Amino acid sequence: MLRRLLLAFVLSLTVFQGIEAGKYNRVVDIGDKPQGWKQLPGTDGKEHALADLTDAKAVAVIFTCNDCPVAIAYQDRIKQLAKDYGDQGLQVIAINVNKGESIFGMKLRAKAEDFQFPYLYDESQETAKSYGAVCTPHVFLLDGKRAIAYMGAFDDNWQKPAAVSKKYLEDAVIAVLDGKSPEVAESKQVGCAIRWNSK
């Protein structure tokens, strides 16, 4: 199991080179408006849609999962981001698209970790395809018009929170909530490769 996770992590760092849309994204670029999600089941027992978030000034869409070491390393930082900026208009949405996971397992994790943001399951994986997401975590910040203002990594050090020097997502959130464009709009995503359904 550990060998498979490490291999997936290495692949996610190496296979996406020579990209045309964004610098690190094959599908979308800054300013694009990816297709929103509809009727995705959440760990709260409800169905969720992007169109429901009319009051949010910004939406942080984070593709994540239950078992990737990198995703697990970031979950406390994601929780803190939601707590620090929720009252200012940020809505955090976590989406799991991994093959082999289930809403039941996600509910257990959300309860154990006290997630205070929607954690959704997209079994079809269409949301990830629309955003060009390739790994967990892969972060996208949408502005008030639901255009991509930032995409890539959460920050620059997944292993050591105390050693983080560039808070990419948080800096982008602050800028967007202040009506500005982020100074850094894109960074290289880091994480375990998404497990895709067989074609």
- The two tokens of residue 106 are 């996600």
List strand residue ranges (DSSP E) for the chain, in order: 40-41, 47-48, 58-63, 90-96, 119-121, 135-136, 138-142, 148-152, 192-193
Model pTM score: 0.89
For residue range 165-187, list pLDDT tens digits in order: 999 999 999 999 999 999 999 99
Q: Tell me the C-alpha distance between 11 and 7, whole Å.
A: 6
CA–CA distance from 138 to each of 5, 62, 94 (Å)? Answer: 16, 6, 10
For residue range 87-135, list pLDDT tens digits in order: 999 999 999 999 999 999 999 999 999 999 999 999 999 999 999 999 9
Residue ranges and CATH numbers for the domains of the chain are: 2-193 (3.40.30.10)
pLDDT of residue 19: 35
pLDDT of residue 20: 41
Residue carrying the six token digits 């490769």: 193
pLDDT of residue 13: 43
For residue range 4-31, list pLDDT tens digits in order: 544 444 444 433 333 345 789 999 999 9
